[in-house]
Structure 1
Amino acid sequence: MTGKLTKSQSKYIKSLQQKKVRDLNKQFVVEGVKLVRDLLNHSGIVDYLVYTGDNEDYAFAFPERAFHTSPKELAMISSLKTPNKILAVCNQGLPFDSKRARVFGQLDFSKSIIALDEISDPGNLGTILRLADWFGIKQIVCAPGSVDVFNPKVVQATMGAIFRVNVQTMPLVDLIDSAPSEMKAYLADMEGENLYTAEVSSPFILVMGSEGHGVSAEIRKLVPSVISIPQFGGGESLNVAVSTGIILSEFCRKLG
């Protein structure tokens, strides 16, 4: 059974574009057929679904939690410039009801971790989640001051990886101090050992810096192993997401 979206629900969904509202209610919005299709494997985090007339098949997947609306109304509450035909209001911090379930509030130091030092661009963070998912890295730690992982632009850029990668926020100093001694941390920088000749061990922590300032001096003091992507042509620097992809590819190649 489905119902019609109410005005109060519309207002609330629109308000979830604000971080303070997301933080207060521990909810976020997922938009688009592709991402909602991924949610079918993680239905435990879905509070309710909003759809237009030609997406009733998805509504049947969430009985008692689906609400119909018009394309015009959906466009008014969407965060996208070109609104899609379906969205879901989801809960933050609930364990997923799938074989790929993740445990929130914990880090598994037997598995590798990507540590991000105040990444501010939503597209970059979303792409890094997507890269982590592709290369089998299921844990990301963001330093305080990073863009919110539940920002609508981040969610869209992950292309569903947000449902499969455990993202937490904590000071990177605490992360590095908590890691066991046998877990080596690597810091990416313009000046460091050649990525393609450096030795790599697993599990690892890969520290990537912000787009504008790189890795903070405080973290640099804690991570002596610095690696660099060699430059073969022109250009001042690489985008942080591009750099992350190159490094993960080489790490995975070396580690098999």
Structure 2
Amino acid sequence: MASTWFRRWAAASSGSPDAVAKVPPLGMPIDEVRAELDRIRHPFRVAIRRSKNPFNVGGVIRTAHSFLAKEIILIGTERYYRKGSMGMQRFEHVVKVDSEEEFVAMAKERGWFLSVLEKDHERPVGLWDAQLPEDCVLVIGNEDEGPGDVLLAAADEVVAIPMWGINHSYPMTVAAGIVMAEWARRRYAGEGRVVVTPKA
């Protein structure tokens, strides 16, 4: 049974002028808010490999929350700035694994499809032509070394985001947002709504 807040949220997302309904009531327990969000999460995951900048990790968590990713997996990444995530880490499922090998073993055991971002790979597929299946894991490498050999070897597809300038790469948070937006565009384009109606 959906909470009163969740039902009001669904109504607001459907076009009701009651936009304030999208904000949980003050004092609503975080676990309850997270449980309600779990009802409408998307099936894709986001994984970040050994980021050097905790603020970048926080920014990706905030972005993943905006797209309601199923999980955010930190590979060998221990710290993130809560300021960067704007507190959204409280409502997300953040999973930590110690190494790339542990992550790959987990992915194989659970049958995850790994879409690894890396434009400097010998044969990447452009983002517009990538598979990005419903329940893929979008794997983002670190700021200097990218995803690294272990994750590239395990990739089901290596995805490059098109670039037109002379700079070498996108900022981590921007790259994450572009790929999540493309994943969502393929599933929601043509609906004519900024906010997708949750299924209450």
TM-score of the pair, normalised by structure 1:
0.55
Q: How large is the Cα RMSD of the aligned pairs?
A: 2.2
Name the larger-Rg structure. 1
- 2:176 alignment counterpart: 244
The one-letter code sitting in structure 1 at the alignment partner of 2:48 is L
SS of 2:95's equivalent?
A: strand
The one-letter code sitting in structure 1 at the alignment partner of 2:132 is V
Counterpart CA distance in 1 for 2:167 and 2:25 is 37
After superposition, the Cα gap between the structure-2 partners of 1:123 and 1:99, relative to the gap in structure 1 and judged at 3 Å, is: closer
**For 1:1-256, what aligned pairs fall within 5 Å after superposition?**
40-42=27-29, 96-101=30-35, 111-144=43-76, 146-149=77-80, 154-170=81-97, 171-180=102-111, 183-191=112-120, 192-256=124-188
Greater helix proportion: 2
Q: What's the offset of the Cα at 1:121?
A: 0.6
Q: What's the offset of the Cα at 1:39?
A: 7.9
Q: Which runs of 5+ in 1 are unaligned?
A: 1-36, 43-95, 103-109
Fraction of identical pairs, as percent: 22
Q: How many residues align?
A: 153
The one-letter code sitting in structure 2 at the alignment partner of 1:189 is E
Q: Deviations over 1:124-156 (max 9, x none)?
A: 001000100111113111112x1424xxxx111
Q: Which runs of 5+ in 2 are unaligned?
A: 1-23, 37-41, 189-200
- Residues 38 and 160 of structure 1 are in contact (CA less than 8 Å); yes or no, is this contact kept in structure 2? no
- Residues 34 and 92 of structure 2 are in contact (CA less than 8 Å); yes or no, is this contact kept in structure 1? no
Greater strand proportion: 1
SS of 1:140's equivalent?
A: strand
Counterpart CA distance in 2 for 1:39 and 1:120 is 35
SS of 1:227's equivalent?
A: strand
Greater relative contact order (Cα < 8 A, sep 6+): 2
Counterpart CA distance in 2 for 1:179 and 1:128 is 23
TM-score of the pair, normalised by structure 2:
0.69
Counterpart CA distance in 2 for 1:123 and 1:133 is 15
